[in-house]
Amino acid sequence: TQLLEQSPQFLSIQEGENLTVYCNSSSVFSSLQWYRQEPGEGPVLLVTVVTGGEVKKLKRLTFQFGDARKDSSLHITAAQPGDTGLYLCAGVKGGKLIFGQGTELSVKP
């Protein structure tokens, strides 16, 4: 059982569509991070959310941290082919950064 459950695992959409990726847990986290990983590269940090209920925007990406700090979501507006990649959420537990299994996003032109 994964400490952080991401859904969906795979998502294939057309350019211009909107999408939401979810990261859920039964545990409380002091913060959650979102990373994006492109093929052949390591993950790159997109954002860190710290406060329950916090909303952060990064261009067309909107990140939200649940009020209870157990879940987070990533919403992409008007997806573009350049958004294609593996999206990973991660939270600190026991001094370690634990990752969800990731959401593989494919945006077709």
Partner 1 sequence: KAGVTQTPRYLIKTRGQQVTLSCSPISGHRSVSWYQQTPGQGLQFLFEYFSETQRNKGNFPGRFSGRQFSNSRSEMNVSTLELGDSALYLCASSPEGGGPTGELFFGEGSRLTVL
> Quick check: 34 binds partner 1 (CB under 8 A)?
no
Which residue, 17 or 38, has its beta carbon nearer to partner 1?
38
Q: How far apart are CA 12 and CA 45, in angstroms?
A: 22
Smallest gap from residue 47 Cβ to partner 1 (A)? 10
Q: How far apart are CA 97 and CA 23, in angstroms?
A: 15
> Quick check: 41 binds partner 1 (CB under 8 A)?
yes
> Which range in 10-18, 49-57, 60-68, 95-103 contacts partner 1 by CB under 8 A?
95-103
Q: How far is CA 81 from the centre of its chain?
A: 17
**What secondary structure does DSSP assign to 51-86, as a single string?**
STT-EEEETTEEEEE-TTSSEEEEEESS--GGG-EE
Smallest gap from residue 77 Cβ to partner 1 (A)? 24
Smallest gap from residue 92 Cβ to partner 1 (A)? 5
> Quick check: 109 binds partner 1 (CB under 8 A)?
no
Using alpha carbons only, what angle is made at residue 102 by residues 98 and 55, rounded to the nearest 5 degrees? Answer: 80
> Quick check: 100 binds partner 1 (CB under 8 A)?
yes
